[in-house]
Amino acid sequence: MAKKFYITTAIDYANGSPHLGHAYEKVLTDVLARYRRLQGDEVHFVTGLDEHGQKVQMSARKAGLEPQAICDQVAVEFQGLCQRLEISNDDYIRTTEARHKKVVQSVLQDLYDRGEIYKAEYAGFYSQRQEQFVTEKEKVDGEWPEIYGEVEEVIETNYFFKLAQHQDWLVDTIENNEAFIYPRFRSADVLQFLKEPLNDLCISRPRERLQWGIELPFDSEYVTYVWFDALVNYITAAGYGTDAYADHWPADFHVIGKDILVPPHAVYWPIMLHALGLELPRHFLVHGWWLSSGAKMSKSTGAVVNPLDLIEQHGADAFRYFVTREMNVGQDSEFSLERFTARYNSDLANDLGNLLSRLLNMGGRYTEGRVPAATIDEAPEQELKQLWESTAKELIPLYDGFQYHRALETIFSFLSGINRYAETRAPWKLAKSEDPADRAALETSLACMAEALRLSVVLLTPVMPTISEKVRALIGDEALTGLDGQLDWGDRLEGKTLGEKTILFPRPERSAG
Ligand code: MSP
Confidence of residue 512 (pLDDT cuts 50, 70, 90): very low
Q: Does the beta carbon of 251 sit less than 6 angstroms from any atom of ligand 1?
A: no
Kindly indicate the confidence band of residue 133, based on its pLDDT and cuts at 50, 70 and 90. confident
| Residue 298 predicted with pLDDT over 90 | no
Model confidence pLDDT, tens digit, residues 60-113: 999 999 999 999 999 999 999 999 999 999 999 999 999 999 999 999 999 999
Q: With a cut of 70, say whether residue 340 has pLDDT above it.
A: yes
Q: Which has more pLDDT, 395 or 306?
A: 395
| Residue 181 one-letter amino acid | I
Q: Above 80 in pLDDT, residue 301?
A: no
Residue 243 pLDDT greater than 70, yes or no: yes
The fold of 337-513 is Isoleucyl-tRNA Synthetase; Domain 1 (1.10.730)
| Pairwise CA distance, residues 66 & 88, whole Å | 31
**Is 284 within 8 Å of 253 (Cβ atoms)?**
yes
Q: Are 250 and 279 in contact (CB under 8 A)?
A: yes
Ligand 1 centroid distance, CA of 304 (Å): 13
Ligand 1 within 6 A of CB of 303? no
The residue whose CA has the least distance to atom 5 of ligand 1 is 10
CA dihedral 237, 400, 260, 120 (to 10 degrees): 60
Query: What pLDDT is recorded for position 257?
Result: 98
Mean pLDDT of 341-367: 97
Q: Which numbered atom of ligand 1 lies nearest the CA of 19?
A: 23
Alpha carbon nearest to ligand 1 atom 9, residue = 12
* DSSP annotation string for 478-496: PPP---TTTTS---TTTTP
Local confidence band at 147 (pLDDT 50, 70, 90 cut-offs): confident
For residue 280, what are the CA distances in angstroms to 181, 220, 275, 513?
A: 12, 30, 11, 44
* Ligand 1 centroid from CA 46, angstroms: 15
Give CA–CA dist 443/430, Å, rounded.
9
**Ligand 1 binding pocket includes 260 (Cβ within 6 Å):** yes
The phi and psi torsions of 307 (rounded to 5 degrees) equal -60, -30
| Run of H or E residues at 47 | strand 43-50
Cβ of 265 less than 6 Å from ligand 1: no
| Cβ 47 vs Cβ 8: under 8 Å | yes
Mutation choice for ligand 1 from 9, 46, 50, 332, CB with most ligand atoms inside 8 A: 50
Q: What is the 3-state secondary structure (H, E, C) of 210-238?
A: CCCCCEECCEEEEEECHHHHHHCHHHHCC
Q: Residue 510 — pLDDT band, cuts 50, 70, 90?
A: low
**Does the pLDDT value for residue 303 go beyond 90?**
no
Span 425-438, average pLDDT: 98
pLDDT at 484: 97
Peptide bond before 380: cis, by omega within 30 degrees of 0?
no
For the segment 332-349, the average pLDDT, to the nearest whole number, is: 95
Q: What is the mean pLDDT of residues 306-330?
A: 94
Residue nearest atom 12 of ligand 1, based on CA coordinates:
12
How far apart are the C-alpha atoms of 362 and 138, rounded to whole Å? 67
Q: How far apart are CA 59 and CA 65, in angstroms?
A: 9
Higher pLDDT among residues 297 and 27, named by residue: 27
Residue 341 to residue 344: CA distance in whole angstroms? 5
- What pLDDT sits at residue 509? 62
Q: What is the tens place of the pLDDT at every residue in 440-492?
A: 999 999 999 999 999 999 999 999 999 999 999 999 999 999 999 999 999 99
**Any idea what the Cα angle at residue 353 is, between residues 349 and 356, rounded to 5°?**
165
DSSP 344-392: IIIIIIIIIIIHHHHHHHHHHHHSTTB--------HHHHHHHHHHHHHH
Phi-psi region of 295 (alpha: psi -120 to 50; beta: other; left: phi over 0): beta
298 ligand 1 Cβ < 6 A: yes
Is-contact 92 81, C-beta < 8 A?
no
For 135-154, what is the mean pLDDT?
90
pLDDT of 276 reads 98
User: Residue 338 Cα, ligand 1 centroid: separation in angstroms?
Assistant: 25
Percent pLDDT > 90 in the chain is 89
Cis peptide, bond prior to residue 18, ω within 30 of zero:
no
- State the pLDDT confidence band at 172, using cuts at 50, 70 and 90: very high
- Checking if the pLDDT of 508 tops 80, the result is no
Q: Is the CB of 50 under 6 A from ligand 1?
A: yes
Alpha carbon nearest to ligand 1 atom 6, residue: 231
Phi, psi of 452, rounded to the nearest 5 degrees: -65, -40
Output b/e per residue, 119-138; b: 16+ Cβ within 10 A: eeeeeebbbeebbbbbeeeb
pLDDT 10s digits, 315-324: 999 999 999 9
**Residue ranges of domains in the chain:** 337-513
Would you say the CB of residue 223 lies under 6 angstroms from ligand 1?
no
Query: Which band of pLDDT confidence, cut at 50, 70 and 90, is reported for residue 300?
Result: low
Q: Specify whether the CB–CB gap between 270 and 280 falls below 8 A.
A: yes
From the list 260, 96, 285, 78, the residue with the least C-alpha distance to 180 is 285
Per-residue model confidence (pLDDT) at position 293: 78
Q: What is the pLDDT of residues 249-280, one digit of tens each?
A: 999 999 999 999 999 999 999 999 999 999 99
Please report, rounded to a whole number, the percentage of residues in the chain having pLDDT higher than 70: 98
Look at residue 513 and tell me whether its pLDDT is greater than 50: no
Query: Which of residues 336 and 299 earns the better pLDDT score?
Result: 336
Ligand 1 lined by 229 (C-beta under 6 Å) = no
Query: Does residue 511 register a pLDDT over 70?
Result: no
